[in-house]
């Protein structure tokens, strides 16, 4: 099997067992060498044996398989992991010829790289998935990457994780922040500024009250809110990298219905009534922006402006509104499983890991209560 170019037309062709394939999905021809190479790999997977597939060809088919199943950002990360980071350290030979020894160079490269241990493990996992793909679809007898060990955190990483604790706001601090925005709205001199500040206010209110991620809050539509039950459906998200187009959430656990507080419901009802007074209103409007969600830059700039003007501390990030929500619930004695579901975590283990310092404080307090109960025992 070979790939060659017709010099007179510039087209690319694939020869396979004396049969010439000249086809493309649109023009019945291959415009580029890459298209021809990809088709060559597909032919090998369909008509050839597993010994026909080299590592680079496996990567091509594996990525083509993933491209149909992953979202744009996830696919780009998968492609970078295996093509840019892993592939340069792995020999390009037939996949049946691989032994665990062939990955020693790759393992050493991962060990010496400056990537975090979490990112190293993501690269290792992607490589293992590619060979597992070959086991499943190409009849590869064993996965030669099965002996590659996971990367462990360095001492510096461990110390950094232990020292790092995110900043959070209490309800009182958020109230001061929200009232400052309301005051700013009352001082607006034109409708355009008032519209923008109203959208900023409702964004931060929902972020703090629901504990949603920024992309989830920005993806909320008017139709996602049910004023009769005080519930909001988290069903999609928007990302500035994708031109603010609505897209599905990454995991099933992220799709959820959340109860909204009475205060937030009252403010949201008033916000929607304000929307209804505008000619652009419809059920497909974004709750935090109208016909288009607010940009992360605008949200950050407005937040920092209010924090600086009214001397509100600590200065927190947009994502820390979510952390504040979870921390306040845990401090109030909420069940960790319920908090995990509300946040859209895939498991309670994730919630416990993220909020371990909050839970440690709860355990210390519990021990103090226990000591108080038994203090009179001699």
197 and 154 in a common domain: no
pLDDT of res. 261: 95
Contacts 24+ apart (CB under 8 A), 131-138: 131/58, 131/95, 131/98, 133/58, 133/61, 133/62, 133/65, 134/50, 134/53, 134/58, 134/62, 134/95, 137/45, 138/45, 138/50, 138/53, 138/58, 138/95
The answer to whether residues 47 and 132 belong to one domain is yes
Residue 243's pLDDT is what? 64
Which two three-digit tokens encode residue 367?
Answer: 């021990």
Residue 89 resides in a domain: yes
27: in domain: yes
Could you list the mean pLDDT of each consecutive 10-residue stretch along the chain, which spans 378 residues?
73 58 46 73 56 85 89 89 95 92 93 90 95 86 91 78 77 97 95 94 97 95 94 89 76 94 96 86 86 90 95 95 95 91 93 83 68 67
Residues 131 and 56 in one domain: yes
Q: Which of the listed residues 143, 161, 179 is the one where a domain comes to its end?
A: 161
Does residue 258 share a domain with residue 202? yes
CATH number at residue 137: 1.10.150.130
Q: Are residues 258 and 356 in the same domain?
A: yes
Q: What is the CATH number of the domain that holds 205?
A: 1.10.443.10
pTM of the model: 0.63
Peptide bond into 314 cis (omega under 30): yes
Same domain membership, residue 199 and residue 149: no
The answer to whether residue 375 sits within a structural domain is no
214 within domain boundaries: yes
Domains contained in the chain, number: 2
374 in a domain, yes or no?
Answer: no
Residues 358 and 271 in one domain: yes
Q: Are residues 140 and 185 in the same domain?
A: no
Tell how many helices (H) and how many strands (E) occur in the chain. 15, 8
Residue 377 domain flag:
no
- In angstroms, the CA 253 to CA 345 distance is 6
Residues 125 and 183 in one domain: no
* Cα distance between residue 286 and residue 276, in whole Å: 13
- State how far Cα 222 lies from the chain centre: 24
From 134, 161, 188, the end of a domain falls on: 161
Q: Are residues 118 and 204 in the same domain?
A: no
Rounded to whole angstroms, the Cα distance separating 372 from 196 reads: 52
Question: Residue 244: in which H helix or E strand, if any?
Answer: none
Q: Which domain holds residue 52?
A: 2-161
Q: Are residues 263 and 119 in the same domain?
A: no
């Amino acid at each position: 099997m070979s790939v060659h170019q017709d010099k007179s037309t510039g087209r690319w062709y694939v020869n396979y067992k004396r049969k010439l394939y000249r086809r493309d999905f649109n023009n019945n021809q291959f415009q580029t060498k890459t298209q021809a190479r990809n088709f060559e790999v597909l032919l090998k997977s369909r008509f050839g044996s597993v010994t026909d597939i080299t590592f680079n060809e496996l990567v091509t088919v594996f990525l083509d398989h993933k491209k149909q199943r992953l979202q744009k950002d996830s696919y780009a990360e998968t492609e970078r992991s295996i093509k840019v980071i892993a592939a340069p350290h792995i020999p390009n030979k037939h996949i049946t010829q691989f032994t665990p020894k062939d990955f020693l160079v790759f393992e050493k490269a991962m060990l010496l790289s400056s990537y975090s241990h979490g990112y190293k493990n993501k690269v290792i996992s992607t490589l293992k998935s590619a060979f597992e793909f070959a086991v499943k679809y190409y009849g590869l007898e064993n996965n030669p990457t099965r002996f590659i060990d996971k990367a462990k955190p360095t001492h510096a990483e461990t110390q950094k994780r232990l020292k790092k604790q995110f900043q959070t706001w209490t309800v009182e601090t958020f109230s001061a922040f929200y009232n400052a925005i309301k005051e700013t709205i009352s001082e607006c001199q034109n409708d355009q500024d008032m519209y923008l500040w109203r959208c900023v206010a409702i964004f931060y209110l929902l972020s703090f009250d629901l504990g949603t991620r920024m992309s989830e809050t920005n993806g909320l539509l008017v139709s996602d809110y049910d004023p009769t039950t005080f519930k909001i459906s988290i069903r999609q998200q928007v990302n500035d990298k994708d031109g603010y187009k609505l897209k599905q959430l990454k995991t099933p656990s992220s799709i959820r219905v959340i109860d909204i507080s009475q205060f937030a419901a009252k403010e949201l009802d008033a916000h929607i009534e304000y929307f209804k007074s505008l000619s652009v209103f419809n059920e497909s409007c974004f709750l935090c922006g109208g016909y288009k969600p607010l940009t992360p830059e605008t949200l950050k700039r407005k937040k920092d402006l209010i924090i600086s003007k009214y001397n509100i501390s600590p200065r927190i990030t947009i994502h820390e509104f979510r952390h504040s929500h979870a921390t306040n619930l845990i401090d109030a004695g909420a069940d960790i499983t319920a908090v995990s579901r509300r946040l859209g975590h895939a498991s309670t283990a994730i919630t416990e890991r993220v909020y371990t310092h909050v839970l440690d404080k709860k355990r210390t307090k519990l021990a103090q209560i226990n000591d108080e109960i038994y203090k009179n025992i001699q």
